Structure 1
Amino acid sequence: MSHLIYSNGNSVQLPDPRWTGQRHLGEHSVKLIKEMDHLTSIIEEILRRSDCPHLTVHIETLREGGHEIACWAPEYDFGDIHANGYWSLLTIGLKLCNLVVDRYQNDPNPIIDNDLKNLLDFANIAIDVVRLLRKDSIDFAASQENTEPSLQASSLKYFVDLFGLLLSIEKEKIAPAFGQFCGFWLSPQSQYATTVFVTGLSLLSARITDGLKCIISRNQRGLVFAELVKRADVSFVTKLRNLLESPFYKTYLPIILYGRSPKTRVDIYFNRQTTWIISPINKKVLRFTENHGGPTGWKQEKIRCRLFQSHPLGKGHENKLVIYCHGGGFTMGSPESQEIFIRDWANKLDGIPILSVNYTLAPEAKFPVAIQEILDVYLSVTNEKKSPLETFLGYKPTQITLVGDSAGGNLCTSLCMVLNDIRLKDADFPIQMPNSLISFYAPFNITLLLSPSITLASCDSLLSAGLMLSCFEAYLPITDETNSHNNTESTVDNNALIRLPNLVELVKNVLKSIKDIKLFQTGQCDPWYRAEKAKLQETVEKLYKITSNPYISPLYYQDFESLASINLHLIALHFDPFLDDNVTMAKKWKGKVTLDVLDGLQHGFLNYMPFIDEGRKANELAVRRIKETFK
């Protein structure tokens, strides 16, 4: 048996030696353990002279949990990069300790804030959750005779039990993370940006009489927002899309920032290809045949893309192209809504054109409509004789880099796998693989197998658990229609893939016309993820059969070796719910990999990067990574 010794002389008996991580801890672990000891000892002294001496139990739990996490977190790192959900949770714990110390260290008779008490309660629950995830990781690795434990849980029951526990916590305990101490683990400027977002949505969701309170009271704002995100559903996502597609954000703000640059900003329309179709019911890409009936309803349709270019490429360099897929949880975004950073990229890429794909959004179009449209654009660019892009640029790109953020990163990665499967399925069909793939904070595992970093969604304001799960609901068939899915290849329901442009435009116009201040008030019915346990377990198990498709969850791809020619560049965030997905993808990828993990920023930072220093620095990294792919 192993023992973990604490600074006060106590020890905890550990059932498996591997629980302690490396016997000789690395410098980073030792540094954080010392910092935890220092801060918690100060807090214990504060509590002894405060009105809440009983809270020392919470602090002891926090210290012991921090020690354990610092011991085992290095086992999950990618190379020498100290980044995974365990490190993130430990860092948040340290920042919580700093909040207490900064506020009360010099107070002779401290009265502990109720919000801090609630955050300490929540931290203790989070420690219990990650301990269970760690035990599962070790037990499963041992059962599989696998020496490397996984960041993903081995069973869906952990989502139902543990994530369900985090979602069911009283809003009062988590509200301080949205209110008085909004995003306290982020950089100061990111905290401010997050506070603006939370204030705006709280104001829109509150009753008219409470609207003013949300502006002037951080506590009221936190309570309203906590209730909002705990009950978010597809209608909430659709309304949020309408807000983010406002003319100010997607039209006027880019003009204010960049004027009329870059010089080229034009729409290009691509025909649908009629050779390959991604099955909505199988983990396959299929050839169109008479049995499949062809692309019914697509023949007259075109896919709009928007091209950005600062100036034409010089002679000898006319072979480069960036294909960009936007983020937004598969439910939000457009080429225009991303101009806030795409224009900046185009201005700095020395004439390399960026083609931004305007794929159809959920819930109007579920999987695999978006990835099918991206495939169609890619095959038009690379395979079509004199494609619309070639006609405009004057050359056919032979050096292509795929770039995507969040859901767009998922789609770009899935596209690589679809293209590879076409190549393996039909050696005579000409496939030009992309040279490089750059992904920003993307989800690569949508199966709801829990990981430490995903638990961050329980207190993340921009990517809250409710918003994340509602986006999945919009993109995937989570309702009773999951019963109709099967594993046969004989039929493809083309109606499931047909875009409904008139209906989409109608819905957009209706939503844009909504001016009511109660725009974001939650509905009366609980969303699917708040169902009673047995029903939730049933839904999650049905969902797993769909989401284990590698075109939805790329970590499930079975042939990474054949993708080794593609260089992968991952840009992730220390405090992002999808961090563990990115660390795991870096380990699985067989080609060249770089993993950049940025500190102090929140999911989606590209969309507000012009306004914060850390965002601008991270954006420069993004531009540098894109340029490197063409050297």
Structure 2
Amino acid sequence: MDSSLETRFAFLEKTLPQNSQKCFLFKQLSNNCEKIRQSLPEIIEWAKESNFKNVQANGYWSFVKIVDKFIDLVENSITNMNSKSIDPNLVKLSRFLLVYLDKVCETREVVEIDFNFNTKKLFTSFPEDQTKYFNEYIAGDHWAEVQTIYGHFNCFWLCRSTSFVLNIFTLFTAIVSKFPKSLCALWDRDYRGKILFETMKNATIDFPFAMWRILEWKIHSKFLACLINIGSGLQTSTEFIPRQKSWIIPEWSKGRVQRKYFSKFQSSGKKVRCRLLQHRNKSQNDTLVLHMHGGGFVALSPDSHEIFLRHWASNIGGVPILSVDYTLKVEYPIALQEVLDVYLWCVSGEPNVKKMLGFNPKKIVLCGDSAGGLLGITLCTVLCDIRKICEQNNEYVNLPFPSSFIGIYTTFNLL
């Protein structure tokens, strides 16, 4: 990539000055590009030093790749402008990249100082003002550059497919923020950038939850889910699974499962809500997919995931999917306990299991994304503990293990 960037910058050096007399913007853009070019070789060396083996995954490479995409924008602008002036928004973007460049260099200095005076402490003495810098930059006189990025070059550094999806999302965010006035964000990029900038600047802890709650809207979880999967022959229902009282995960004892401990959730008789998706003609099989949704343990539900759960259920050979709606925003181990209760009920062989599913499952596939994946893999360790306890007490337990586990961007490092 470094040789490719050098070649492309050489092209810009020849092209931009030739046109600098046409407009003062050319000279600004040329000067900014030259400053970035001069710093790039050193940053590429830093990037190579920070590689994890052969993986180019660090912030220095991120900057290099963003510059690479920026050159694409400049080249396209020069190619398509003919006798017209260059896009002034590119100059604003180049100024923002210079600020980014300054912070990359300052961060490198801090890292080197920390490395040379390493105290082997868990937390480094990274200056707090480093993380606050961009907030101060945005709050100052540079808001126009930030608005330009949001409005005209949003996600320009990503691949086309990812950029398209995120642009749709940010456009939707802008429209929802001040509806119906914000409808003009559909055609006015400057206004779109202004709205997105204000939304980001004034964002609170409720903002990500508000974005997440969009997936809970009926138009998404019911209308779109049904529309996309129309004719699939699926039926969905809400089921309430009874709690069990034999195996309880306490808050102490290193999380080891224990017997005969009755918490308030058991004594209250609260059942666990689940969503069941299966074909109308219940096929004869012995497999069940037990799904746990993601959402950081604080958001989302089986309903928000139903748009793709329906697609799964219609393409896995008649195997039903039971998605657990575990309690959100609660302390450990409440959510895990609910997942355990649902699993133990599914393998209990009780008549109500066959009544609901049409069979008693012999194979259970655990599946979860993000936080749900963590619940799934942790459930496996709990089931292993139950078996060990029974073996130590010479007790027989008919407890089948999950036949497989599918984790989608699961947070294994939280185990």
For the superposition of Structure 1 and Structure 2, which TM-score range results when normalised by the shorter chain? 0.7 to 0.9
* The structure with more radius of gyration: 2
Residue number in structure 1 paired with 2:275: 306
Residue number in structure 1 paired with 2:36: 58
The amino acid of 1:205's aligned partner reads: S
Asked if structure 1 preserves the Cα contact closer than 8 Å seen for 2:43 and 2:60, the reply is no
Residue number in structure 2 paired with 1:284: 255
What is the distance in 1 between the residues matched to 2:268 and 2:376?
24
Residue number in structure 2 paired with 1:98: 72
What is the distance in 2 between the residues matched to 1:245 and 1:285?
34
* CA displacement 1:77-98 (0-9 Å, x = unmatched): 4xxxx66776655434422332
**Aligned ranges 1:172-571 → 2 under 5 Å:** 172=143, 173-206=145-178, 211-212=182-183, 214-279=185-250, 283-287=254-258, 294-296=263-265, 299-310=268-279, 312-313=282-283, 318-362=285-329, 365-382=330-347, 384-386=348-350, 388-420=352-384, 422=386, 427-428=391-392, 430=397, 432-442=400-410, 444=411, 554-557=412-415
What is the distance in 1 between the residues matched to 2:269 and 2:291?
24
* CA displacement 1:560-614 (0-9 Å, x = unmatched): xxxxxxxxxxxxxxxxxxxxxxxxxxxxxxxxxxxxxxxxxxxxxxxxxxxxxxx
Shift of 1:338: 1.7
Q: For 2:6, which of 28, 37, 41 is the aligned residue? A: 37
- Secondary structure in 1 matching 2:314: helix
- Secondary structure in 2 matching 1:170: helix
What is the distance in 2 between the residues matched to 1:433 and 1:216?
55
* Cα RMSD after superposing both structures: 3.9
What is the distance in 1 between the residues matched to 2:191 and 2:358?
58
The amino acid of 1:95's aligned partner reads: K
What is the distance in 2 between the residues matched to 1:127 and 1:331?
34
- Secondary structure in 2 matching 1:267: strand
Q: For 1:127, which of 104, 114, 118 is the aligned residue? A: 104
Shift of 1:213: 5.0
What is the distance in 2 between the residues matched to 1:174 and 1:419?
51
Shift of 1:249: 1.0
What is the distance in 2 between the residues matched to 1:35 and 1:101?
14
What is the distance in 2 between the residues matched to 1:214 and 1:42?
35
What is the distance in 2 between the residues matched to 1:40 and 1:419?
59
Asked if structure 1 preserves the Cα contact closer than 8 Å seen for 2:294 and 2:368, the reply is yes
* CA displacement 1:501-554 (0-9 Å, x = unmatched): xxxxxxxxxxxxxxxxxxxxxxxxxxxxxxxxxxxxxxxxxxxxxxxxxxxxx4
401 and 161 in structure 1: CA distance in 2 versus 1, 3 angstrom threshold: farther
What is the distance in 1 between the residues matched to 2:131 and 2:254?
27
Shift of 1:301: 1.2
Residue number in structure 2 paired with 1:529: none
86 and 412 in structure 1: CA distance in 2 versus 1, 3 angstrom threshold: farther
What is the distance in 2 between the residues matched to 1:276 and 1:227?
50
Say yes or no: does 1:170 pair with 2:170: no
* CA displacement 1:17-59 (0-9 Å, x = unmatched): xxxxxxxxxxxxxxx2233323333344455442214312123
Asked if structure 1 preserves the Cα contact closer than 8 Å seen for 2:174 and 2:195, the reply is yes
What is the TM-score with the length of structure 1 in the denominator? 0.53
366 and 93 in structure 1: CA distance in 2 versus 1, 3 angstrom threshold: farther
- Secondary structure in 2 matching 1:179: helix
256 and 420 in structure 1: CA distance in 2 versus 1, 3 angstrom threshold: same
Residue number in structure 2 paired with 1:68: 46
- Secondary structure in 2 matching 1:327: coil
Shift of 1:336: 2.3
* CA displacement 1:100-131 (0-9 Å, x = unmatched): 22223565864652441244135425634874
What is the TM-score with the length of structure 2 in the denominator? 0.77
Shift of 1:303: 1.0
* CA displacement 1:418-441 (0-9 Å, x = unmatched): 444555666458554434332333
The amino acid of 1:397's aligned partner reads: P
156 and 218 in structure 1: CA distance in 2 versus 1, 3 angstrom threshold: farther
- Secondary structure in 1 matching 2:301: coil
The amino acid of 2:274's aligned partner reads: C
- Secondary structure in 2 matching 1:186: coil
- Secondary structure in 1 matching 2:53: helix
What is the distance in 2 between the residues matched to 1:76 and 1:277?
45
326 and 284 in structure 1: CA distance in 2 versus 1, 3 angstrom threshold: same
What is the distance in 1 between the residues matched to 2:383 and 2:183?
53
Shift of 1:167: 5.1
What is the distance in 2 between the residues matched to 1:425 and 1:116?
62
- Secondary structure in 2 matching 1:331: coil
165 and 309 in structure 1: CA distance in 2 versus 1, 3 angstrom threshold: farther
Asked if structure 2 preserves the Cα contact closer than 8 Å seen for 1:309 and 1:346, the reply is yes
What is the distance in 2 between the residues matched to 1:389 and 1:129?
62
- Secondary structure in 2 matching 1:305: strand
Segments of 5+ residues of structure 2 without an aligned counterpart are 21-25
Shift of 1:387: 6.9
- Secondary structure in 2 matching 1:266: strand
The amino acid of 1:267's aligned partner reads: T
- Secondary structure in 2 matching 1:73: coil
What is the distance in 1 between the residues matched to 2:113 and 2:366?
36
Asked if structure 2 preserves the Cα contact closer than 8 Å seen for 1:380 and 1:387, the reply is no
Asked if structure 2 preserves the Cα contact closer than 8 Å seen for 1:262 and 1:347, the reply is yes
420 and 176 in structure 1: CA distance in 2 versus 1, 3 angstrom threshold: farther
- Secondary structure in 1 matching 2:276: strand
The amino acid of 1:303's aligned partner reads: V
Asked if structure 1 preserves the Cα contact closer than 8 Å seen for 2:277 and 2:321, the reply is yes
Asked if structure 2 preserves the Cα contact closer than 8 Å seen for 1:303 and 1:373, the reply is yes
